[in-house]
Amino acid sequence: MSEVRAEMVANVWKVVAAEGDAVADGDTLVILESMKMEIPVLAEDSGTLSTLAVAEGDVVQEGDLIAVID
């Protein structure tokens, strides 16, 4: 299992993946936006996206859980 967490305070601009998706290492899961910059959040492992903890428009804090890959 691998957890994907936010590296910084940001707004969730786009959710690209959905719970249940099969994802590969390096796939884009969501795109965050902070300080007028888009920051793609990537899968760090291959597997099934069992949890997607954010929705478009959410604000995430540094360290917040974004997704879990099993």
Partner 1 sequence: MLESVLVANRGEIARRVIATARRLGVRSVAVYSEADSGLPYVADANAAVLIGPAQPAASYLNGPAVLAAAQQTGARAIHPGYGFLAENAEFAASVVAAGLTWVGPAPDSIARMGDKINARNLMEQAGVPVSAGTREPVADLEAALAAADQIGYPVMIKASAGGGGIGMSAAADQAQLTAGFETARSRAERFFGSPAILLERFVPRARHVEVQILGLTGGRVLALGERDCSVQRRHQKVAEETPSPGVSPALRTRMLAAAVTAGEAVGYRGAGTVEFLVDVEAGDFVFLEMNTRLQVEHPVTELVTGIDLVEQQFLIAAGEDISFAADGVTPAGHAIELRIYAEDSKRFLPSPGTIMTWTEPTGPGVRVDAGYQAGNTVTPFYDPLLAKLCVHGADRAQALARARSAVEAFEITGLKTNLEFHADLLASDEFSSGDYDTSVVGRLRP
Enumerate binding residues for partner 1 (CB under 8 A): 7-11, 33-37, 39, 59
Closest distance between partner 1 and the C-beta of residue 50, in Å?
Answer: 27
Nearer to partner 1, 1 or 37 (CB): 37
Task: Tokens for 30, please give them.
Answer: 């969501």
Nearer to partner 1, 22 or 59 (CB): 59
Length of the chain in terms of residues written: 70
Closest distance between partner 1 and the C-beta of residue 3, in Å?
Answer: 20
Nearer to partner 1, 20 or 36 (CB): 36
CA distance 36 to 16: 19
**In this structure, what are the phi and psi dihedrals at residue 45, rounded to the nearest 5 degrees?**
-160, 160
Give CA separation, 6 vs 25, 57, in Å: 17, 15
Closest distance between partner 1 and the C-beta of residue 6, in Å?
Answer: 11
